[in-house]
Amino acid sequence: MNFLGLNNKNKTFKPKKNVPEGTKQYDLQKYAEATLCSGNLKLAVVLPDGEDINEWLAVNKYIDNLMEWVQNQLNDENLFPSKIGVPFPKNFQSSVKVIFKRLFRVYAHIYLSHFPAIIALGEEAHLNTSFKHFIYFVQEFQLIEKKELQPLTELIVTLTSKDQNI
Q: Which residues are annotated as a binding site for Zn(2+)?
A: 109, 114
Asked if 159 and 135 touch (Cβ cutoff 8 Å), the reply is yes
- What's the Rg (C-alpha) of the chain? 19
Q: Can you say which residues are annotated as belonging to the binding site?
A: 109, 114
Sequence-separated (6 or more) residues with CB below 8 Å from residue 78: 89
User: What sections of 39-123 are H helices per DSSP?
Assistant: 41-44, 53-75, 92-120
- What are the CA-CA distances from residue 79 to residues 14, 92, 93 (Å)? 38, 6, 10
Measured distance CA(17)–CA(19) in Å, rounded: 6
